[in-house]
Structure 1
Amino acid sequence: MTKLKAPLQLDQKIIINASVEEVWEVFNDQSLLTKWTQDVQNSKFDEKMASPGQLRRNECIVNGKKGTIETRCVDMKGKDRAEFIVERDSFGMTKMLVDMSFASELRKVSDEKTEFSMLSHYTPKNLLLKLMNPFIQKKMGKEVEIMLNGLKNYIEKGETNKLNPMNN
């Protein structure tokens, strides 16, 4: 049973040539976010590994604009699924998208191959945003795809995400 309230808007997957344990360790290690994401410049958290109830405050650059995004881990099901809600941000996303949240799912394909899914949930706040939702999904989908490829390249090759100014 999910703790995420909004409907699923995007379900994006990537195959990573590593075990579920290896993928989980990198994804769940909040100190590594700057290595594989394209926008997180700094992350403040209480514990290195994400856990239910924990708040994470990320300083980000999105479309050239500096700001913050605060997410809270609300649930974990072993190394199979983690759920996060976006509590607030300075970019205006949480003003446009109600109950913005995401989940990650890891599925073992083989001993050294994992399917990693990123599930994006939200509800557009008004009729105009509902009409704009295909555009929002396309834009968000591109950003998540870049992030997923960053995670894959960091795990498989040790390459940091070159789109993140922290890694140049």
Structure 2
Amino acid sequence: MKPKFQSKQEVIIKAPVEKVWEFNQDLSNIPLYHPQVDKVDLISGKRFREAGVAYQCHIAGSRHTCIEKDIEIVPMKKIVTVFPSDTMGLAKLLPDYIVESSLTKIDKNTTRLDIAHYYSSSKWKVKLLNFYIKRKIAPQIQQMLNAMKNAIEAE
């Protein structure tokens, strides 16, 4: 069972769903659009997403890292990712954090990409963090989506 839904960001990309999917499948593209990531280590040895593939993101301007792992892939539709560990302590605070990226074909040249966040928020620390996430992190995720849109549309 999924933890509680917390927030969602979305972007409309002027590109076919196949192109958006292909771009998002290549883990080496993450630093091209994610402003918080400057390097990705392919710790599973695979450059493309599939269920069970893990990768380590290096946080830009710091020594911090986080490990992300894709646990479910539905081609052209959905990617479900978890965060088993990081050097900032977020994985301990949010051990059930799940990100679900969904693609929706609007027409043959337009795709909507949604990123939904799920985690439990019963502890007071998590409730405080949730306030921070919604005010600070959500705009960063939207910035990331806009950068992805720009990269895909520029191809």
TM-score by length of 1: 0.84
Contact persistence 1:95–1:125 (CA under 8 A): no
Displacement after TM superposition at 1:31 (Å): 1.0
Distance in 1 separating the partners of 2:107 and 2:148: 18
Match of 1:36 among 33, 36, 39: 33
What does residue 24 of structure 1 align with? 21
Displacement after TM superposition at 1:125 (Å): 6.0
Distance in 1 separating the partners of 2:100 and 2:140: 15
Contact persistence 1:98–1:125 (CA under 8 A): no
Contact persistence 2:84–2:95 (CA under 8 A): no
Structure 1 segments unaligned to the other structure (5+ residues) = 159-168
Displacement after TM superposition at 1:25 (Å): 0.8
Displacement after TM superposition at 1:65 (Å): 3.1
Tell me the SS of whatever aligns to 2:46: coil
Match of 1:144 among 141, 144, 148: 141
Q: Does 1:9 align with 2:6?
A: yes
Displacement after TM superposition at 1:5 (Å): 3.1
What does residue 120 of structure 1 align with? 117
Letter in 2 for 1:130: K
Letter in 1 for 2:91: T
Letter in 1 for 2:107: S
- State the identity %: 25
Distance in 1 separating the partners of 2:46 and 2:128: 40
Tell me the SS of whatever aligns to 1:74: strand
What does residue 52 of structure 1 align with? 51
Structure 2 segments unaligned to the other structure (5+ residues) = none
Q: Residues 125, 92 of structure 1: CA spacing in aligned structure 2 closer, same or farther, 3 A cutoff?
A: farther
Letter in 2 for 1:113: T
Displacement after TM superposition at 1:134 (Å): 2.6
Displacement after TM superposition at 1:131 (Å): 4.3
Alpha carbon RMSD of aligned pairs, Å?
1.6
Match of 2:62 among 60, 65, 89: 65
What does residue 107 of structure 1 align with? 104
Tell me the SS of whatever aligns to 1:66: coil
Letter in 1 for 2:59: C
Q: Residues 132, 38 of structure 1: CA spacing in aligned structure 2 closer, same or farther, 3 A cutoff?
A: closer
Tell me the SS of whatever aligns to 2:63: strand
